[in-house]
Structure 1
Amino acid sequence: MKSALVTSYAQLPAFNDVQDPVPSENETLIRVTAAGIHPIVKALANGTHYGSTGKFPFVPGVDGVGTAPDGRRVFFGIARPPFGSMAQYTLAGDFMIDLPESVDDAFAAAAANPAMSSWAALSMRAKFQPGESVLILGATGAAGQLAVQIAKHLGARRVVACGRNAAALEELTALGADATISLMLSPEDLIEAFRNEIATNGVDVVLDYLWGAPAEAMLSAIAHKGLSHHAPRIRFIQIGSSAGPAISLPASHLRSSGVELLGSGFGSASMDELRIAIKQFFEACSRKPFQTKFVSRPLEEVTGAWTEPNEPRVVLRP
């Protein structure tokens, strides 16, 4: 069959011929119709993700949409290595979800992974409750844009979108953001903007797609001075690290505040929780539209498509 193939962390995936996968007793052979090139897919293919194994060759792709032998349209995730989703066929285990008729294959492949990141973070990790407020670091990316919509859908009282792209921030108000904060501010002004938001409106949950300097600024804003205060509880959910893999975190930031620092991703959330998050997102899609930008490319263009920006999300069509 035709597929994308990774033969080295130093090389981009290439269009190639590989052996057809043969399902075991607990696997289903899926004819793939769409697979998204998500940031995690690129990171696994270049060796920078904690899930990278160093075993070559392999077909990239962590999830996708396809047709089961009985004709069902399904979303699937995490095929058995070396068979990823960027091929004509792949193998699916228990991580399969029937797609509602109203959800398009390419949209599902583009949106499910970024939508899962905030749905699981809010519902499973933060134990979010309707009426709480959410601040999103990195709201202008595909995942952040969906996070704004999902937070509102789940009943957020207030959603604050934070990002560098001024035009994209402006667009987020139409998607449900109640306020925006530019990450282009100086470090001092950014900390002050975060402090003002916390003091004036309250922040219950932070969804962090960035880490790096923006996370340092937010955690500095959460920290308190003095001994007589009782700091409010803020759940800081770490999801991505596009602004840097590490931060400097003084111990006093944790002791002086009510911050609860949690991760959300493969490992910190169970596969069943991630599957449920995507299933709930698709069910919500059948009742109301969610917006995300994506472009489709044929599988044979995988090498060129790999270097395209993450937004709009690129979807490969075998």
Structure 2
Amino acid sequence: MYFTHNSRQEIIYESSRGFDLAEGPVWADFIDPQPAPGQTLIDVRAAAISHVVKARASGRHYSFDGNLPFVPGIDGVGTTPQGQRVYFAFPTAPFGSMAQRAPVALQNCLPLPDALDDIQAAAMANPGMSAWASLVTRAQLQAGETVLINGATGSAGQLAVQIARYLGAKKIIATGRNAQSLAALDADECIQLTADDKTLSGQFSAVSAAQIDVVIDYLWGHSAELLLPALAKYTPAGSPVRYVQVGSLAGADIALNGAVLRSAPLLLMGSGIGSLSVSQLLAATGEMLQAAVPGKLTIATTRGRCRRSRRPGRRTTAKSARFSPSDKKSLPHKRWG
């Protein structure tokens, strides 16, 4: 889901009773951003409502500091005062990308290829950065290697499949729950995670026996509990598997016998904010965006435009905004000065 603008307002999370994100966001006027030295003021053209944006907005993401009010959105596409079209990331708090203007550090602005449109650039930046940083910066994938992507049917997983192919992976193994979505991927082998544990363990053992070089894991949870022992059993000494933990969509915790790590050459690492610096994440984003056109990287989008509307039962001056045609969320109008 992706957000475009037609108003000089922002989406704001605030609270009249202390820290209570359950009150939800409002569509409101907010203080005008003033760029500090080393910053520029971006006119926002598009911003993505990614998993990390939703998690931060709900207070569930580890990088959210809890300060209210704030404008959600960590990145987007816009233009500088000089008219250059850029991808930008990490607007200065409390401002975010879901506004007409956002103050951003100059080093957090990346030029965009002319052939990459605003919506595709905004949509693929965060999941594409996740995939590129995991495959290139962390796993250091080499052409001719075999990659298993655990959770390949989400936005980041789909881009990880495309990027691995672009980077020259010899074989790509994709896992996911939806058989139709798996079949649509450019993967060499697919494993459906709805199978029973015995079947899944057998499939993980079969692909591990054929040698896996890199695992990109967006799920964690029970599938990781089955996959890691299979890798440990079949990975030969001297050929370590680089296992990159990226997301926890299937669960934040796993039960793992310590012998699994002691008995096999497994390199277990994470990829995200903290394990990589902001400059590394931005570099990965820039490399991915430059590769988007030659690599024919694509992502499905739902385009929504925030618009004002009257809400039944409220004063006629009350206004609201909808994130997208499918979201059906109205936001009460307020003013912040």
Q: TM-score, normalised by structure 1?
A: 0.91
Of the three residues 77, 82, 85, the one matched with 2:94 is 82
- Do 1:77 and 1:92's aligned partners in 2 also have CA atoms closer than 8 Å? yes
Alignment correspondent of 2:17: none
Alignment correspondent of 2:266: 259
How much does 1:288 deviate? Answer: 3.7
Residues 39 and 230 (structure 1), Cα distance of their counterparts in 2 relative to 1, 3 Å cut: same
Q: Distance in 1 between matches of 2:325 and 2:90?
A: 20
Code of the residue aligned with 2:109 in structure 1: it is M
How much does 1:13 deviate? Answer: 2.4
Aligned residue runs from structure 1 range 155-174, under 5 A: 155-172=168-185
Q: Distance in 2 between matches of 1:72 and 1:178?
A: 40
Q: Distance in 2 between matches of 1:249 and 1:102?
A: 46
Q: Distance in 1 between matches of 2:100 and 2:39?
A: 16
Per mean C-alpha deviation after superposition, the further-off stretch among 212-221 and 229-238 is 229-238
The SS at the match of 1:162 is strand
Alignment correspondent of 1:29: 41
Structure 1 gap ranges (5+): 310-318
Matched, 1:134 2:147: yes
Residues 257 and 11 (structure 1), Cα distance of their counterparts in 2 relative to 1, 3 Å cut: farther
Of the three residues 132, 149, 155, the one matched with 1:119 is 132
The SS at the match of 2:229 is helix
Alignment correspondent of 2:285: 278
Of the three residues 213, 220, 223, the one matched with 1:211 is 220
Residues 151 and 30 (structure 1), Cα distance of their counterparts in 2 relative to 1, 3 Å cut: same
Matched, 1:220 2:229: yes
- Do 1:13 and 1:302's aligned partners in 2 also have CA atoms closer than 8 Å? no
Aligned residue runs from structure 1 range 173-188, under 5 A: 176-188=186-198
The SS at the match of 2:149 is strand
How much does 1:80 deviate? Answer: 1.0
**1:13-46 residue CA offsets vs partner (Å, 9 max, x unmatched):** 2211111100001110000000000000011111
- Do 1:37 and 1:306's aligned partners in 2 also have CA atoms closer than 8 Å? no
Q: Distance in 2 between matches of 1:177 and 1:130?
A: 16
Code of the residue aligned with 2:221 in structure 1: it is G
Of the three residues 207, 224, 239, the one matched with 2:246 is 239
How much does 1:188 deviate? Answer: 2.0
Code of the residue aligned with 2:77 in structure 1: it is V
Per mean C-alpha deviation after superposition, the further-off stretch among 7-16 and 152-161 is 7-16
The SS at the match of 1:224 is helix
Q: Distance in 1 between matches of 2:296 and 2:136?
A: 20
Alignment correspondent of 2:74: 62
Identity value in percent = 43
Of structures 1 and 2, the larger Rg is shown by: 2
Alignment correspondent of 1:20: 32
Query: What root-mean-square deviation, in Å, do the aligned CA atoms of Structure 1 and Structure 2 show?
Result: 1.8
**1:292-314 residue CA offsets vs partner (Å, 9 max, x unmatched):** 100111134765549849xxxxx
Q: Distance in 2 between matches of 1:267 and 1:286?
A: 29
Code of the residue aligned with 1:5 in structure 2: it is I
Q: Distance in 2 between matches of 1:3 and 1:186?
A: 47
Of the three residues 40, 49, 54, the one matched with 1:42 is 54
Q: Distance in 2 between matches of 1:304 and 1:34?
A: 12
Q: TM-score, normalised by structure 2?
A: 0.86
Q: Distance in 1 between matches of 2:199 and 2:218?
A: 20
The SS at the match of 1:237 is strand
- Do 1:2 and 1:17's aligned partners in 2 also have CA atoms closer than 8 Å? yes
Code of the residue aligned with 1:137 in structure 2: it is N
- Do 2:163 and 2:295's aligned partners in 1 also have CA atoms closer than 8 Å? no
Code of the residue aligned with 2:173 in structure 1: it is V
Q: Distance in 2 between matches of 1:18 and 1:245?
A: 36
Structure 2 gap ranges (5+): 1-7, 15-19, 308-319, 329-337
Matched, 1:189 2:188: no
Q: Distance in 2 between matches of 1:222 and 1:303?
A: 46
Alignment correspondent of 2:123: 110
Q: Distance in 2 between matches of 1:288 and 1:219?
A: 31
How much does 1:207 deviate? Answer: 0.4
How much does 1:223 deviate? Answer: 2.6
- Do 1:6 and 1:14's aligned partners in 2 also have CA atoms closer than 8 Å? yes
Alignment correspondent of 2:257: 250
Aligned residues: 302
Alignment correspondent of 2:332: none
- Do 1:138 and 1:208's aligned partners in 2 also have CA atoms closer than 8 Å? yes
How much does 1:52 deviate? Answer: 1.3
Residues 95 and 54 (structure 1), Cα distance of their counterparts in 2 relative to 1, 3 Å cut: same
Matched, 1:5 2:12: yes
